Amino acid sequence: MGELIRVCRVSDLPDPGKAVFDVSGRMIALFHVSGTFWALDDMCTHDGGPLAEGELHGYTIVCPRHGAQFDIRTGQAKTMPAVRATTAHKVVVKGDEVYVELNEES
């Protein structure tokens, strides 16, 4: 198991909400929806758009550059022009603290 890195407090993010954090030098988009947190690379696989600056609709984030949609729970690309998933990272909540375990494989 990888290292858990503390990112923020549960109360730092509204629900629904999103924010970007520098997690050990990697820009991570953290999402809070329906009481659960998810984390993705803050990077659209189409052309590097900053995903967390897009609109969040339910479990879908819309890239602000050209509108590709991603599932925040898996990183899967749902619509063109993106065809590849962005990397998803494990999130662990302990009490009021939110931790991310970086997926170093991609």
Give the binding site for ligand FES (CB under 6 A): 44, 46-49, 63, 65-68, 81-82
Q: Which is nearer to ligand FES, 80 or 93 (CB)?
A: 80
- Of 102, 105, 86, nearest to 6 by C-alpha is 102
Query: From the CB of 79, what's the least distance to ligand FES, in Å?
Result: 9
Q: Which is nearer to ligand FES, 9 or 66 (CB)?
A: 66
Q: What is the DSSP string of 20-67?
A: EEEETTEEEEEEEETTEEEEEES--TTT---GGGSEEETTEEE-TTT-
User: Torsions phi, psi of 52, nearest 5?
Assistant: -70, -10
Query: From the CB of 55, what's the least distance to ligand FES, in Å?
Result: 13
Q: Which is nearer to ligand FES, 54 or 99 (CB)?
A: 54
Query: From the CB of 18, what's the least distance to ligand FES, in Å?
Result: 15
Return the sign of the alpha-carbon dihedral for residues 74, 29, 47, 24: negative
Q: Which is nearer to ligand FES, 81 or 101 (CB)?
A: 81
